[in-house]
Chains A and B, each alone.
Chain A
Amino acid sequence: MPGRVRRNTELGLILLGAVITIGAYILASLGRSDVLPADVVPFLVAVLVLLLGAHIANRFLAPDADGLLLPLAALLNGIGYVFIARLDEDLAGLQAMWTAVGIGLYIATLLVVRRTRLLERYRFTVGLLAMLLLLLPLVPSVGQQIGGARIWVSLGPVNFQPGEFAKIAFAVFFAGYLVERRELLGMATFKLGPVHIPDPKHLAPVVIAWGVSLVVMMFERDLGSALLFFVLFLVMLWIATQRVWYVATGFVLFGLGAWFSWTRFSHVQVRVSAWLDPWADPDTAGQIIEGTYAMAWGGLAGTGLGLGFPWKIPVVETDFIFAAIGEELGLLGATAVIVAFLLMTGSGLRIAARASDPFDKLLATGLTTLLAVQAFIIIGGVVRLLPLTGVTLPFVSYGGSSLLANYVLLALLVRISDQSSRRPATRPERERAAA
């Protein structure tokens, strides 16, 4: 029974992850104020209750699922929490609450989505929902502009970023739509001058969905999410049709779009010049400079938890948490975060490769792409590989919407994994020797 082996592996890893999280929490307190944290016992109980809760849910709701995704996510969430607690105690309390809600949502998603067929059936409803979520921040009096980007929504006492959920809804919509039309999209039957392209009739809904999302995000000044959606769209189209020229065309379009926004929008120019030469204008690029110094100060093994000065970096709890990890745990700690994301991506793609249903395959690819590309965009921005665009580092950064959405994403991947491991056809070979 592969499921039991997987669950036991998961349990072992989760316990090790809990030990690491609690150890880091104690170390951070020792480093900062030379005393054990006052709330170490409640913290220990909370970590174990949350992680074991999710694990037990897996045992009952997804017994054959991959056993590595949940521990890796839990480890990232734990490390992130330790850093948030070390930076800002008020935010830590909120993050603890969001983690609890997130794991609750993870279990709820596993409960509600017993089969991915449910999502496939409601693909257009989900697509519409994605659009509404994306447009919500632009509605006057509901939408809020915080920190330059208009991506927040206030409904009564609740503030959230609907874009975080929209990305999952878009992945579901693209997967459902592309599975239905992938054969038609793979053929170039329509003539446009000298080139053959697929019939626009079949391509239209995806292109419209994608175009609108990009324009909306331009208005909301959320460049990171725009890039994320663009890559999601390209990867899913490529996987669905197996035509590389979609990717090639996409890169050309991306180049044109990037050049256009660089010449037209001042906020894009600021980002690009801060990336190319932050010291030319230290006032606007202060965040990048502080982040770079923090990581340099950390060196190979870091200053030690609680012994650095990460609070000097503006918005360190969300966008720049990676720089804080680089400062206090050094290159080794920062690399560990990247390794965790690599392993999660590997698990996600393995789930996609093993899924027998085309919709499952495509959805798993899309969700993994979202996770991997989002981590790449923000880590790349922090280490100056890419221009900085503010997205959260999944599971690590402070942020309720991001954490909740990523736990839903995780639950869907786990559901796909469980579903495809249980199908007889995906087992290596079933043989019946003739007597």
Chain B
Amino acid sequence: MPEQLLTVLKICLLALLYLFFLRVLRAVWAEVNPPKRSETAAKAAKPARRSRAKKVKGARRLTVTAPAALKGMAFAVTGEVTIGRANGCTVTVDDTYASQIHARVFQQDGQFFVEDLGSTNGTYLNRKKVTGRMVFRPGDKLQIGNTVMELR
């Protein structure tokens, strides 16, 4: 077998090796930067849904900070949000110390309020028990049972 041919084949093999790595890197890149895909998915979705998604984007969110297993879950606050163990609530928390319909968060005149809906174990805003309607500002911590949520 001529030497030149072997050299050419060897270079091809090395090129394939680096092609392999290139594809690995591309796969990593696609995972690390997923927004492109969700953007195209949003574009593909119906226009009506798109407009709602836009609204949600500007809204404040309730973000779970504890327990660790649920950390990072977020719920958009638009209009009224009910929190509780019942499936019908806007935010369903799987927490032994939460009541079925535990509390509600709502918006009025550009401000957020939180109100306890007669729960057994109470609702706490920044570690103070919620009585009546209380103003809920961004950064405040809302505790229901063992679940803590922050308004962001």
Contact = CB atoms under 8 A, between A and B. Distances in A.
Interface of A: 2, 5, 9, 12-13, 16-17, 19-20, 23-24, 27, 30-31, 34, 67-68, 71-72, 75, 301-302, 304-305, 307, 329, 332-333, 336, 339-340, 343, 346-347, 350, 356, 358, 423-426, 428-435
Given A356-B69, A432-B91, A433-B52, A301 B14 contact: yes
Interface in B1-27: 1, 6-7, 9-14, 16-21, 23-25, 27
A87 B78 CA distance: 70
B27 A20 contact: no
B24 A30 contact: no
A339 B9 contact: no
Contacts of A305: 10, 13
B interface: dominant SS: helix
A356 B25 CA distance: 24
Contacts of A358: 68
Contact of A301 (B11, B77, B90): B11
Nearest to B77: A434
| Contact-residue size bin, chain B (C-beta under 8 Å from the other chain) | 35 or more
A346 to B, nearest CB: 7
Given A12-B23, A343-B24, A431 B74 contact: yes
B21 A339 contact: yes
A347 B28 CA distance: 8
Interface of B: 1, 6-7, 9-14, 16-21, 23-25, 27-28, 30-31, 34, 52, 55-56, 61, 68-81, 90-91
Given A16-B23, A68-B28, A346-B28, A333 B72 contact: no
B76 A434 contact: yes
Contacts of A34: 1
Contact of B14 (A71, A329, A431, A434): A329
Contacts of B72: 425-426, 429
Contacts of B52: 433
B27 A429 contact: no
B16 A431 contact: no
Contacts, number: 115
Contacts of A13: 20, 23-24, 27
A16 B73 contact: no
A300 to B, nearest CB: 10
A413 B38 CA distance: 28
A30 B5 CA distance: 11
A434 B90 contact: yes
Contacts of B12: 23
A307 B76 contact: no
Contacts of A424: 73
Sorted from nearest, which 9 A-B pairs have the closest CB atoms? A336-B17, A9-B27, A304-B10, A434-B78, A433-B56, A429-B74, A434-B79, A332-B14, A433-B76
Identify the interface centre among A12, A19, A23: most chain B CB within 10 Å of its CB.
Answer: A23
A307 B1 CA distance: 12
Contact of B1 (A30, A336, A433): A30
29 contacts: A5-B30, A9-B23, A13-B23, A20-B17, A23-B12, A23-B16, A27-B6, A30-B6, A31-B6, A71-B20, A75-B20, A301-B11, A301-B14, A304-B6, A304-B7, A304-B10, A332-B14, A339-B21, A350-B28, A356-B68, A356-B71, A424-B73, A429-B73, A430-B73, A431-B61, A431-B74, A434-B76, A434-B77, A434-B79
